[in-house]
Structure 1
Amino acid sequence: TVRDMCKIAFGHVGLNMDDHLVIDEKFFRPAEVDVLLGNPGKAMEKLGWKPKTSLEQLITMMVDADMRRLSI
């Protein structure tokens, strides 16, 4: 979920996301799908694809890149 991604990103820099984010339900889309799931099974089966990077690794790489770009 977006919340999980935020927890990973904020945690990577030693922050608690709840101290920095405000979630306002007025911005939720009325027809929002509660659960979106992806399944890499078909790509694994038909293409022999395997992930090289976990979601957590990807998020921390993105945070690190932004921090370098912003010279933080």
Structure 2
Amino acid sequence: MPETTVPDSTIEPTRTVRVPELVGVPAADAHDRALDAGVLAVAENAAHTAAGRSRIERQDPDPGAEVEPGAIVRIWVSS
């Protein structure tokens, strides 16, 4: 039986996006910035107050990391 090969044009490369810098960003803007980059920011410390004045103090993964689209970026909001 003859061998068959798959043309390279049919193999789709894995697409990645870069995690944006969220540290120092106002909490009210962090989620939008993450979505614009193709990731989802999820607060790890949900019991924060004054979200309008709070800023992101930490994130995981770090800014610039290559992740799959829709990946979760964990954020910690200053209180």
Q: TM-score range by the shorter chain?
A: under 0.3
Over alpha carbons, which structure has the higher Rg? 2
Q: Which has the higher strand share?
A: 2
If the length of structure 2 is used for normalisation, what is the TM-score?
0.24
If the length of structure 1 is used for normalisation, what is the TM-score?
0.26
Q: Which has the higher helix share?
A: 1
